[in-house]
Structure 1
Amino acid sequence: MKSKTAPGFGFGLGFMGACFSSEQDKSINKFPGNDCRTSLSGRSDLRRMQSSGSTPLASKNVRDLRQSPGYCNVDIFTYEEMRLATKQFRPDLILGEGGFGIVYKGVIDSSVRTGYKSIQVAIKELNPEGFQGDREWLAEVNYLGQLSHPNLVKLIGYCCEDEHRLLVYEYLANGSLEKHLFRRVGCVLTWSRRMKIALDAAKGLAFLHGAERSIIYRDFKTSNILLDADFNAKLSDFGLAKDGPMGDQTHVSTRVMGTYGYAAPEYVMTGHLTARSDVYGFGVVLLEMLIGRRAMDKSRPSREHNLVEWARPLLNNNKKLLRILDPRIEGQYSVKTAMKVANLAYQCLSQNPKGRPLMSQVVEILENFQEKEQKSQHAIVHNGGESLTLYEVPKDSANNPQEKRNIVKSEVERKELHQRPTDSRTKTELPSETDQRGPPDSKSGEESG
């Protein structure tokens, strides 16, 4: 749950008294007071998760929300219940902290609320002095209260009492992808596990983009991808999420928010936001998983500070790609598959948004990779702690001695490259990424956030 992003203050949302699989276009303005009052305008074009009667009117504040049917399976907690769940916010239960506040591990059971089935939770307490405000808090309640998908973190409930703002999520035992991918020692992210995480995250984004009114996540990065006990990945932190374009609109114009290294170049330059902006962020994370480096790393030589600028030109070169792949997963993949995944990252990172695939296509591609990997003929032969990957010979080269020699040569080169001295990538871990803020788009009539 750890994150140090300074969230933005722009999105469209509204509270509805029922569960939905997409969300509506609403604008929010904060009013003084302790009851989270908001001003709502716009129309609803939601697609329901469950069939029921007519769409209820939008709730104007949390008090109205409590009196309405509410979100399905989202509970409203008192601050005292939050204190009990975290043992009075005990310091040793802190899971992480950042500009938003602090995240605690907690338990909600019958001692917290009579008759409540015991469940482990992660409780995020908003810091009133921090980067996030009521808008981001309300965005998370709104989006996660209405959305349900295996690859989105589940919102258990929330607390909005006096000045207190807390969110209660399902507890995900393995924390963030960032924590595991960039840990100094003992990395447990195998090649197959990384590919599964990439597929899970892609499914989460594809779900958001495929809603009746698309939702742009806007802050896709390793620290926002959480892992459960079985390393199933789920997207978290919807504070920057925003309604996508609708009708004849090609984009949404907004203030530039997010994290350096992950934001799409056209979004940074113009403030024009589309679903393809998320595809770029996905490409950055896929690249991080392939190479084992952070998107921004100033501890490296200057030309390698920005991972995409340094690595993208190398992704379509077999020899250079093998030289830069994460040595911690050496021998766990076929060169053929690694090349295909690298090519996918290359496409996602296209400077031209139209050159990037849709997330639904990314899901299809990754599923195809996974299926072929499971059915492939190569195997790992372990001998005294050493591993050798037996690569499948292409059908059209089965009877070609020269092709066979090239495959063997390629494998020998790969081994030699990884035997060379490595840099200190695992010795120095940087703080979380610097957040970026940009000026509002100057075009009249465009949204400010």
Structure 2
Amino acid sequence: MKLSLSCKNILLCCAFLVLFFLITNASSDSISINEFLQDSETLVSNNKTFKLVFFCPENSANRYVGIMFNMKSQSVIWVANRDQPLQDSSGRVTISEDGNLVILNGQGKSVWSSNISPAVRNSTAQLLDTGNLVLKDNSSERVLWESFSDLSDSYLQNMKLGTDKSTNTTNLLKSWRSPVDPSDGSFSAGIQTETIPQIFIWKNGLPHWRSGPWDKQVFIGVPNMTSFYFSGFELVNDNMGTTYFYYSYYQGDDILYLVLNSTGFLQQKYLYARKNEWEVTWATPSNECDFYRKCGPFGSCDSESSPICSCLQGFKPKNQEEWVKGNWTNGCIRKTVLEKERNNSNIEQGKQDWFLKLQSMKVPDYPIWVPSAKEDCESDCFRNFSCIAYSYYRGIGCMHWEGSLIDSQKFSKGGADLFIRLAYTEQEKKKSNKVAIRIIVPIICTIVIAILGYISSKLLAKHRGRKRKRELLSKKSFPSYYKLSLARDDINRVKFEDLPIYSFDMLANATDNFHLSSKLGQGGFGSVYKGKLPEGQEIAVKRLSQSSGQGQEEFMNEVVVISKLQHRNLVRLLGCCIERGEKMLVYEYMPKRSLDAYLFGVHIEEEYFLDWSKRVIIIEGIGRGLLYLHRDSRLRIIHRDLKASNILLDEYLNPKISDFGMARIIAGNQDQANTIRVVGTYGYMAPEYAMTGRFSEKSDVYSFGVLLLEIISGRRNTSFYQEDGALSLLAWAWKLWNENKIVELVDSKIIELQLKKEIHRCVHVGLLCVQEYAEDRPNVSTVLSMLTREIDDLPSPKQPAFTTRPTPSKKGSSRIQVSVNDVSITIMEAR
């Protein structure tokens, strides 16, 4: 009996110990000496917001220890062993004998350490509710080391970005090498404190972007920096060597943080608790002018002008030939040197230098703070032999510049007033111009009035003649089927009440009267212009060529089709114009132009290169847009002209399908349809469509397959011309597939070779899409499932159609109309 009770007591004690261990271990946020965190285990902060885990980036075999958000929308915010990955899952985190936090591999060798010195016998590592991993001395509670002092690529609230003299440390954000490689990349970000504090992004140690000076509330070189986006940000500057930037943000369960990505963009990400997904709410550089020193010394950049670079008034290009070619790095030089004598008593009256006011400017780099009152800022600059510009900004005070004016930018709103020093002769020219204007303008006005009077009299006489003619014709009877003009007939075919109508004058004003400098590109049936509406919204205006007999049907078709569609991967139609015999479509403006500009070598600068992760996002986005057209929209739509130049990219390189002039709506129970008017682009048309006029979802899938292979290879389908014995990109891909040399197909600029399996899978899917017979091709839904590995086993592809040109039509066969291989709505800008 006693033995039985003893056994029961032992069992109860064991159960209690196991339960206690499970409860404490499940909620553990710390690790002490002689304790180990195994690869499968996790430290979770007390508030359950953050966790310390072993993780493996997508498509990588390397394992790392890092901190991430403890939620469905996980994002890694700190990595310990960035440059020393573990090769398997046998790694451990522990406290070493000298008190350091260390990561050990399977052989017990340290691959990372907190490197505190001198040694501490009793320490504990704890993951705090702020996301900060701290190492504390248990005897004194002193913090020995913290992850907030060893930043990765992410910037959370309460982190210090800058220089802390008390700890003799400089904290910088350091980008990942690539989206799947957390080792140190090319970009870093931090505070530059040599002059007035500014945030910089550096690329390989050289300036890449800067924020402009801090005015104790915002950085004045960031126009969108407002309390809405940057609530709680603060700069600490004790003027004794300690300067750091931090913020404290609280908005319920919502989370905000910054990340410096592998391509050099500083993004602000916001997590809406209700949606449980991250959204990028702000990013920089946001346009071409944000890149440092874009227009060289004494140059000014304006993203809304074409070209974007111009010399400041009083200056001229240093190298005119290079400047005209768009190479602005050498900048500008003065047209007239400044007066050498600064003593007012020795300068003739009216012969002294003066200051020209430039409004809404991003002030140049290297500002010098001067302890001058607002009313003395100009005079103090004037008396300084070296001062070439000044600005006074509330919250900063007086700033002077010496040497060169570098990285100036013209803003549409915000910014500061910049006063630049010019020679007196520039002011004389200005005065002469004003006098000339006062004399010439009245003369011109007189001539114009006379000409207008003459023209008006002629038009009045012509109008009277027409009126008499109509009165005579009205006496005759006309058939009831009398046709109105083509424009009026077209208008009657569409209900416009659901689509905003823009006036011709409004669009003319928005595009500077359709000036050549506003032209973005040339489509098959007209030109596309960049415009800006009075409220500031940027638009793209597609203007149908009046001299062309083509395009009338395409215009009306596009109004009918796209006005009824709403999807994040389709370009949004804002409205149209049908005045004065014009036909114009107004679209949202896509600042990053069309996909072909990035794929086919138009832009060779590194910052415009599409790495593999961007290409995957673009491929999947196009697929989702196509799926919406085929299956998810109210209408069932076949695009019929899917190609790289009809894929536009927004500021974050998200793809949007454009140009629905050739699209067709088919019945929900139809699998295919026929046409006697074949439209499309050589190289993208499915063989059954090009030869017989039969189109279906599978003809769009064929075009998508061609586009997929172009995105992978960086080459046009029609760019081979018998190269390597191949008629087209499809033939070349098929040849390499059969020879097991598919790596040779991949764009040589893609360096993510560790993603070989993923790239190989995308080529496999592309070849399935371009099979010669439509019934062999998968539908778009299946294609997306294949790309995302929802369908793991893929069938072997059959031989694709190799021809890049349709066979000449015989008598009685379909009439083929081929689109020029340009984007229908191409967003092109000078680079």
TM-score range, shorter chain: 0.5 to 0.7
Q: In structure 1, what is the Cα distance between the partners aligned to 2:748 and 2:588?
A: 34
Q: In structure 2, what is the Cα distance between the partners aligned to 1:323 and 1:302?
A: 12
Corresponding pairs, count: 320
Q: Provide, for residues 302-322 of structure 1, a one-character-per-residue CA deviation record: whole Å limited to 9, x for no partner.
A: 73342112222423543x111
Indicate which of 305, 308, 311 corresponds to 2:730: 308
TM-superposed deviation, 1:191: 0.7
SS in 1 for 2:749: helix
Indicate which of 340, 351, 355 corresponds to 2:761: 340
Q: Say if 1:85 and 1:441 are closer, same or farther in 2 by CA, change over 3 A.
A: farther
Indicate which of 497, 500, 511 corresponds to 1:75: 500
Q: Say if 1:157 and 1:439 are closer, same or farther in 2 by CA, change over 3 A.
A: farther
Indicate which of 687, 690, 696 corresponds to 1:265: 687
Aligned pairs (5 A) from 1:420-439: none
Q: 1:256·1:438 contact (CA, 8 Å) conserved in 2?
A: no
Q: 1:284·1:295 contact (CA, 8 Å) conserved in 2?
A: yes
Question: Rg bigger for which structure?
Answer: 2
Q: 1:287·1:345 contact (CA, 8 Å) conserved in 2?
A: yes
TM-superposed deviation, 1:273: 0.8
Confirm or deny that 1:202 pairs with 2:623.
Answer: yes
Q: In structure 1, what is the Cα distance between the partners aligned to 2:488 and 2:596?
A: 32
Confirm or deny that 1:228 pairs with 2:660.
Answer: no
Q: Which amino acid aligns with 1:326?
A: D
Q: Which amino acid aligns with 2:696?
A: T
Indicate which of 583, 597, 608 corresponds to 1:165: 583
Q: Which amino acid aligns with 2:783?
A: V
What fraction of aligned residue pairs are identical, expressed as a percent?
35
Confirm or deny that 1:181 pairs with 2:599.
Answer: yes
What is residue 363 of structure 1 aligned with on the other side? 784
Aligned pairs (5 A) from 1:48-447: 60-61=492-493, 65-66=495-496, 70-71=497-498, 74-109=499-534, 117-130=535-548, 132-184=550-602, 185-186=604-605, 187-210=608-631, 211=633, 213-244=635-666, 246-247=668-669, 250-298=672-720, 301=723, 303-315=725-737, 317-318=739-740, 320-331=741-752, 333-368=754-789
SS in 2 for 1:75: coil
Q: 1:176·1:226 contact (CA, 8 Å) conserved in 2?
A: yes
Between stretches 281-290 and 180-189, larger displacement belongs to 180-189
Q: Say if 1:171 and 1:149 are closer, same or farther in 2 by CA, change over 3 A.
A: same
Q: Which amino acid aligns with 1:346?
A: L
TM-superposed deviation, 1:226: 0.4
Scaled by the length of structure 2, the TM-score of the pair is: 0.36
TM-superposed deviation, 1:330: 2.6
Q: Which amino acid aligns with 2:545?
A: N
Q: In structure 1, what is the Cα distance between the partners aligned to 2:750 and 2:597?
A: 17
Q: Provide, for residues 365-411 of structure 1, a one-character-per-residue CA deviation record: whole Å limited to 9, x for no partner.
A: 33348x99xxxxxxxxxxxxxxxxxxxxxxxxxxxxxxxxxxxxxxx
Aligned pairs (5 A) from 1:1-16: none
SS in 2 for 1:280: helix
What is residue 206 of structure 2 aligned with on the other side? none
Q: 2:576·2:586 contact (CA, 8 Å) conserved in 1?
A: yes
Q: Which amino acid aligns with 2:616?
A: M
Q: Say if 1:351 and 1:300 are closer, same or farther in 2 by CA, change over 3 A.
A: closer
TM-superposed deviation, 1:254: 3.8
RMSD: 3.0
Q: Provide, for residues 151-209 of structure 1, a one-character-per-residue CA deviation record: whole Å limited to 9, x for no partner.
A: 11000110011311111100001110001111252251111111111111111111111
TM-superposed deviation, 1:36: 3.8
Q: Gapped runs of 5+ residues in structure 1?
A: 1-30, 39-58, 110-116, 373-432
Q: In structure 1, what is the Cα distance between the partners aligned to 2:758 and 2:721?
A: 30
Confirm or deny that 1:37 pairs with 2:509.
Answer: no
SS in 2 for 1:263: coil
Q: 1:35·1:61 contact (CA, 8 Å) conserved in 2?
A: no
SS in 2 for 1:139: helix
Q: Gapped runs of 5+ residues in structure 2?
A: 1-482, 793-803, 819-831
TM-superposed deviation, 1:83: 0.5
Q: 1:201·1:235 contact (CA, 8 Å) conserved in 2?
A: yes
| Ranges of 4+ aligned residues in structure 1 off by more than 4 Å | 433-443
Q: Say if 1:199 and 1:361 are closer, same or farther in 2 by CA, change over 3 A.
A: same
Between stretches 268-277 and 249-258, larger displacement belongs to 249-258
Q: In structure 1, what is the Cα distance between the partners aligned to 2:616 and 2:659?
A: 22
Q: Say if 1:179 and 1:440 are closer, same or farther in 2 by CA, change over 3 A.
A: farther
Q: Say if 1:441 and 1:79 are closer, same or farther in 2 by CA, change over 3 A.
A: farther
SS in 1 for 2:706: helix
Q: In structure 2, what is the Cα distance between the partners aligned to 1:440 and 1:240?
A: 24
Q: Say if 1:337 and 1:35 are closer, same or farther in 2 by CA, change over 3 A.
A: same
Relative to its length, the structure with more strand (as a share) is: 2
Q: Tell which has more relative contact order, 1 or 2 (C-alpha 8 A, sep 6+).
A: 1
Q: Say if 1:434 and 1:122 are closer, same or farther in 2 by CA, change over 3 A.
A: farther
SS in 2 for 1:251: strand
SS in 2 for 1:284: helix
Scaled by the length of structure 1, the TM-score of the pair is: 0.65
Q: In structure 2, what is the Cα distance between the partners aligned to 1:156 and 1:215?
A: 20
Q: 2:717·2:729 contact (CA, 8 Å) conserved in 1?
A: yes
Relative to its length, the structure with more helix (as a share) is: 1
